Chain A
Amino acid sequence: MKSILPTQISLWRKIVNKLMTILVIVAVALAVIPLIFILGDVLLRGAAAVNLTFLTSLPAAPTSKNGGIASPLVGSFTMVGLASLFSIPIGVGAGMFFSEYSWSKLSTVSGFMNDVLTGFPSMVLGLFVFVVIVLTTKSFSAFAGAVALSFVMIPIIARTTDESLKLVPNTLREASMALGVPRWKTTFRIVVGTGKTGVLTGIILAVARATGETAPLILTAFWSTHYATNLFNQPIGSLTYLIYLYGTSGASNWETQAWGAALILILIMLALNLFVKVIIGRSLTEARMG
Chain B
Amino acid sequence: MSIKLLRGDTILKILLAAAALFIIGLLVALAVELSMGSAASISQFGPGFLIGTKWDAVHEIFGALPFIYGTLLTSAIALLIGLPISLGVAIFISEKLKAHQTFGYLLGTLVDLLAAVPSVIYGLWGVLILAPLLRDYVEMPLHNSLGFIPLFSGTPFGFNFFTAGIVLAIMVIPTMSAVSRDVLSAVPNSQREAMYSLGATDWEVTQKSVLPYARSGIFGAFVLGLGRAVGETMAVTMVIGNIPTITANLFSGGYTLSSLIANEFGESSGIYQSAIIEIGLILFLTALLINVLARLLLWRMSHGRQVNV
Contacts and interface: CB of A to CB of B under 8 A. Distances in A.
Question: How many interface residues does chain B have, given as a range?
Answer: 35 or more
B203 A27 contact: no
Contacts of A163: 306, 308
B306 A115 contact: yes
Interface residues of A, number: 99
Given A17-B201, A42-B125, A127-B261, A119 B12 contact: no
Contact of A124 (B84, B234, B287): B287
B48 interface: no
Contact of A115 (B26, B128, B284, B291): B291
B199 A122 contact: no
A96 B30 CA distance: 24
B231 interface: yes
A23 B203 CA distance: 11
Interface stretch (A29-37, A53-61, A77-85, A282-290): A29-37
Nearest to B95: A24
Interface stretch (B52-60, B114-122, B138-146, B148-156): B114-122
A41 B12 contact: no
Interface string A262-287: 10011001100100010000000000
A4 interface: yes
Contact of B16 (A21, A96, A240): A96
Interface string A179-198: 00011110100000000000
A28 B23 CA distance: 38
Contacts of B29: 128, 132
B114 A35 contact: yes
Contacts of A143: none
A259 B114 CA distance: 18
Nearest to A211: B118
A255 B128 contact: yes
The 5 closest A-B pairs by CB, nearest first: A27-B88, A121-B231, A212-B118, A93-B19, A97-B16
